[in-house]
Amino acid sequence: MFGAVILIGGMLVASGTSSATPPPRPGTDESGLSANETATLWAKEPDDCISDEEYYDRYGENRTKMQAVANCTDITFADPPTTAKRWTTYDFESLEAGDTNTSVYPPNAETRDSTLIADAHATIFAVQPSTMVHLNANETPLYVAPEGEIRGFIDYRVRVPDESENETSDWSLVGHEIEEVRLIQDGEVIAEQTGQQTPVLEYDLEGTGPSTLTLEADIQVELEETITTGTETRTEVHIDNLTVSSSREVNVYDLTASIHYANYPNGDTGIAIYQAQPWHGYQLTEDGDAAVRGVWRYYTARNTDWDRLVESSATEREVVESDAHPVYVRAYPSEIGPRADPIRDGPVIEKMWGTESSSPMPTVPDNVAIDIVEEPYTRSYGLAIRYDDVDRNHLQVQGIVRGETAELVEPQRGSEREIRESELSVELLEENESAATFEIELRDAETGDPIVLEPSFENHPRVAPIGVQTRAGYITIADQRVETDTSGTTTVTVTQPGIHTVEYHPGSWRTHNPAYVGDTVSVSWNPLTTASGWITLFIDVLRLSIPFLIALYAGLKLGSFLHVSDEYHP
């Protein structure tokens, strides 16, 4: 479904519809979120788009403007919001396990049975801070902060064995417990605690990139069996242990960025930033007024796997509506980005590097309407920016996971690049009536050293000049593209008269040190400035005039034949 996009106070809203078990109505919970904040959580909810009068008649209360907007649209954000984590923390408290005869679990839980234990599970409720990313048509990875917490739900029921035909057994429950809960990252235990059915484990993840998080729990049940056979009675104790687990594939979002700086001769600062993982934006000044936003925008939606719960006993299974709704932040490539703020007199994006990805629209639920790109897009991993007022002490690379900023890493060869002025000069070598040959010289304006633009010698290393550094770049004149030689000069012949602009197009400062800014110079040529040019012009004019002179002469002669003298009177 497609819908209109509206901007309200920094939040983007887009119309759409959804269907699922309704979450609490905004303003009716004790989450600590305002009614406006709660209204923005449910991107997958049906958009009834009822009037204020209908809302009052239905619920007996008025609603805020944001609630009215959320009732008709899906709301998206310019920055990763805090509301998902705050809501999930609150709503997790409403999750309740069953008693010894009942196990409660979401329908997608991986349950296990043993002799005395049934319908046991350890299911991950939420991992936060985190952001689920609509990356392409096939991938929606979950990026998690290196430091955070995982919430789980563990439950089981006690299974009492059937009596045998020849014996009478009386079973009594001695005890049951969750002995230990562990969080495992790629096979290594990184957090553990004594058993709880709704554990919250804080973690500090290792490494970066793809990883597997496993929530694992040890359950123990102890039953006492009193066995009567005829007149004999004996007692046996039965202990059963079962380990249950569930896993979640994540991407550890330990963002690092490689950064290079350059100072332009006019005082502007050049910045090139590279990062392998998705990024949110760059802050260039302390107050954040100058910034560059990436392609990502955000919305929040619940995990619908928890919309309902199964209550399982020995005799029946009943599906009930859940009171607990984990909510995640989701990022998607927007049609709006990337862009620099402010638009006027703000940073200039000079270059973007990235890889082309397919549109992730197929991964968005049909009933969620957001301004997602519909065509292949460039997932950028680096930008080059130019701005006149960069505050290096407060430069930040902000992540797509709330609260995460990149560690800025300077290359071993240093992060500074020098940019110098270049100087073009042009001299006329020779000319004739049909062409002119110019010598173009390109030098460092400060040192006077030649700037060499010869093509790379990679294919012919034996003929590469010793002690001369070639560089990318070229010079244009009269629709021709040329490079200077080892002396910083080149010659070019033009055949078109007029004023020609000679321009130096330098290579990127990101790959050269020192680098240069471009330079331009104008040169004019006209064949009339030469003696041969005048002779040629005279001959051409005479040649072109002959037909007209002949016609003029013929006309005069014909006129004389037809002329009648005034003295003649018949």
* Chain segment 378-423, per-residue pLDDT in tens: 999 989 999 999 999 999 999 999 999 999 988 766 678 889 999 9
Is residue 71 a contact partner of residue 46, using CB atoms and an 8 Å limit? no
Q: What is the mean pLDDT of residues 4-32?
A: 47
Domain total in the chain: 3
What was the pLDDT predicted at 540? 61
Q: Check if the beta carbon of residue 483 is closer than 8 Å to that of residue 454.
A: yes
Contacts of 458 (CB under 8 A, 6+ apart): none
The answer to whether position 569 is within a domain reads: no
537 in a domain, yes or no?
A: no
Cis amide linkage into residue 146, ω under 30° from 0: no
Q: 347 and 362, same structural domain? A: yes
Nearest to 285 by CA among 394, 386, 178: 394
Is 310 a member of any domain?
A: yes
**Residue at 12 is within a domain:** no
CATH number at residue 502: 2.60.40
Q: In whole numbers, what is the pLDDT of the chain averaged over residues?
A: 83
Q: Are the CB atoms for 78 and 293 separated by under 8 Å?
A: yes
Peptide linkage before 22 cis (omega within 30 of 0): no
Rounded to 10 degrees, the C-alpha dihedral 224/230/233/236 comes to -30
Instruction: Decide if pLDDT at 231 tops 70.
Output: yes
Q: Is residue 14 situated within a structural domain?
A: no
Final residue belonging to a domain, choices 387, 413, 439: 413
- Residue matched to tokens 């002995």: 179
152-188 residue pLDDT tens = 999 999 998 876 555 688 889 999 999 999 999 999 9
Is 301 in the same domain as 161? yes
**376 and 521 share a domain?**
no
Pair 34, 107 in one domain: no
Are 237 and 100 part of one and the same domain?
A: yes
- The pLDDT value given to residue 60: 60
Q: Do 407 and 507 belong to one domain?
A: no
334 and 197, same structural domain? yes
User: 122 with 262, same domain?
Assistant: yes
Q: What is the DSSP letter of 456?
A: P
Residues 189 and 281 in one domain: yes
- Structural domain boundaries, residue 52: 21-73
565 within some domain: no
* Residues 117 and 65 grouped into a single domain: no
Query: Is residue 530 pLDDT above 80, yes or no?
Result: no
What's the whole-model pTM score?
Answer: 0.78
Exposure b/e, 16-38, CB count within 10 A at least 16 = b:
bbbebeebbbbbebebebebbbb
Highest mean pLDDT among 77-86, 169-178, 243-252: 243-252
Q: How many CA atoms within 13 Å lie on the side-chain side of 56?
A: 6
Which pLDDT belongs to residue 244? 98
366 and 483 share one domain: no
Cα 81 to chain centroid distance, Å, stands at 16
- In 3D, which of 296, 327, 318 has the Cα closest to residue 45? 327
Residue 561 lies in a domain: no
Q: Would you list the DSSP string of 331-396?
A: EEEBSS-SEEESSSSS-EEEEEEEEEE---GGGS-TT----B-SS-EEEEEEEEEEES---GGG-E
Q: What is the pLDDT of residue 336?
A: 73
* Residues 261 and 385 placed together within one structural domain of the fold: yes
Which of 413, 431, 448 lies at the terminal end of a domain, its last residue?
Answer: 413
For residues 438 and 480, is the Cβ–Cβ distance under 8 A?
no
Q: Which of 369, 393, 413 is the last residue of a domain?
A: 413
Query: Is pLDDT above 80 for 35?
Result: no
Specify if 104 maps to a domain: yes
Q: Are strands 436-444 and 188-194 parallel, antiparallel or unpaired?
A: unpaired
Q: How far apart are the first and last CA of the chain?
A: 102
